[in-house]
Structure 1
């Protein structure tokens, strides 16, 4: 029987399901409830009490930062752990979250191990006591608790600024590009660069095609490729110093050429964001991308 309660807040149902599944498998004493935005989370938190909040930053109606600020103003939530799970990992955003009272910061895409360690760190003795009382143990790597055992007896401090997930160097067009690089949609006149980040790696790539549902990128084969359904964050330069960070998952991997020794692989990322602002930014990029292909 669950003894602790966690609230998972994200506008993408795919991400909420990943977080809930990890908690269910590794921490059976934690019962999860989810909300698609900060407003819905605020309503749930006003009617019930939660022991842990795991929240996205960018959401419609109320952002994760606004929810955090409201939460710290409520007497019953002043000290409740709040983990910000977001693709925004730059130093300024981390500092802002720390100033508002965030307990920990986890970058997207994340691994189950990374999420588990953050939960162990912020929950401390309450989680250990609940696990001991239930007589249950975590599924997955058995030493996840051992690796973080010291954290359970240490005084909790404000998190150090997190390092953003690896930002790969862009795949710059080469003067002697192969025929694969010059295929329709990836020629120099239409080339748009994208950084695709995964939990443990990143791809240097160019955009082959994009719409509001998915993006197809072309990457050199000599890189480390993800598995199907793996989380991804696509960083797209929106010009004028603005960067769109779109959450998704790997839908398809396919050789560009019909031969075993092809040098290029096509990766299709399905988007999961439902934030109207992100969709608006994406629409502007698509218009510019298609205009460049004419």
Structure 2
């Protein structure tokens, strides 16, 4: 029985589980293995050959970019698809990854549909062939195999199949809570703006104010007239940490609660649990928490 092998690399186990679950549900012909950082991934790749790598950028011990650089120097991995999955979507990072040979770039938080499209784009015909080989040779693929085959072969408006490799996609947009067209890295932070946070989800961005924060979670208050996520939805919290720098913290929705007891309350409290284990991100978060507790923000 033929199957493809994918390696999922991310320092957050919550994110690794999301990726593996999506792959398992939508691409049953792909077997997944995971690693918490680039160093561990490098060790696994030296012992087993993988057909696809889905990797975070910012990780302890060895970053995703360093893993990509090493991977492209190995004969067996020169042309293996590498999808960078990261909360950093600024143009400079995208260009750097493209120069090092990244196959696709997917911004966090991502939807299962978004991840699936990236996988189909870089794997192309190999996915359809694997699905056909694992299905009964006397019948059309059924169930999950049928869904995958349909997605791989469908055409839109007479164009080529969506799985056709068209090169890296444009940089994902990171809708931060800044003036229109402004680059958060180019402006100086101010006490008024420092406790403002943008919480990004796969399909929307929640503009909010930080009410409490620790090294494990943040509680923000947002106006009710916005699109709210569901419990356990993946999130990225963008926090101004001062001097024009922005911390992008990965997490998930732990709690949603009305601020007032009234049914017509105008504000909702959202608690995001952090999942990052990257020391640099934890250091940035520690500095912000200290400033927040001291009243400096």
Flag whether TM exceeds 0.5 (same fold): yes
| Alignment RMSD | 2.1
* Shift of residue 140, structure 1, vs aligned partner: 10
Spell out the pairing of 1:61-140 with structure 2 (5 A cutoff). 61-135=61-135, 136=141, 137-138=143-144
Distance in 2 separating the partners of 1:109 and 1:141? 24
Partner of 1:178: none
The DSSP-based 3-state class of the residue aligned with 1:24 is helix
Residues 190/168 of structure 1: CA separation in 2 closer, same or farther (3 Å cut): closer
Query: Does 1:150 find its partner at 2:161?
Result: yes
Residues 228/59 of structure 1: CA separation in 2 closer, same or farther (3 Å cut): same
Q: Is the 8 A contact 2:131 2:145 kept in 1?
A: no
Ranges of 4+ aligned residues in structure 1 off by more than 6 Å: 139-142, 188-191
Partner of 1:280: 283
> Greater CA deviation, 229-238 or 188-197?
188-197
Distance in 2 separating the partners of 1:228 and 1:242? 29
Query: Does 1:215 find its partner at 2:218?
Result: yes
* Shift of residue 94, structure 1, vs aligned partner: 0.6
Distance in 1 separating the partners of 2:210 and 2:198? 10
Spell out the pairing of 1:1-294 with structure 2 (5 A cutoff). 3-135=3-135, 136=141, 137-138=143-144, 144-145=151-152, 146=154, 150-152=161-163, 154=164, 156-169=165-178, 192-292=195-295
Partner of 1:184: none
The DSSP-based 3-state class of the residue aligned with 1:150 is coil
* Shift of residue 2, structure 1, vs aligned partner: 5.7
Distance in 2 separating the partners of 1:40 and 1:257? 47
The DSSP-based 3-state class of the residue aligned with 2:249 is strand
* Shift of residue 166, structure 1, vs aligned partner: 2.7
TM-score (norm: length of structure 1):
0.88
Distance in 2 separating the partners of 1:157 and 1:190? 40
Distance in 2 separating the partners of 1:141 and 1:224? 30
* Shift of residue 147, structure 1, vs aligned partner: 5.9
Aligned length: 275
- Map Cα deviations across residues 129-181 of structure 1 (whole Å, 9 max, x no partner): 001111255379775433686144x4x343143232333448xxxxxxxxxxx
Distance in 2 separating the partners of 1:147 and 1:241? 45
Structure 1: gaps spanning 5 or more residues: 171-187
> Greater CA deviation, 62-71 or 1-10?
1-10
Distance in 2 separating the partners of 1:248 and 1:147? 36
Distance in 2 separating the partners of 1:151 and 1:134? 22
Structure 2: gaps spanning 5 or more residues: 136-140, 180-190
Distance in 2 separating the partners of 1:42 and 1:119? 21
Q: Is the 8 A contact 1:95 1:161 kept in 2?
A: no
The DSSP-based 3-state class of the residue aligned with 2:269 is strand
* Shift of residue 58, structure 1, vs aligned partner: 0.1
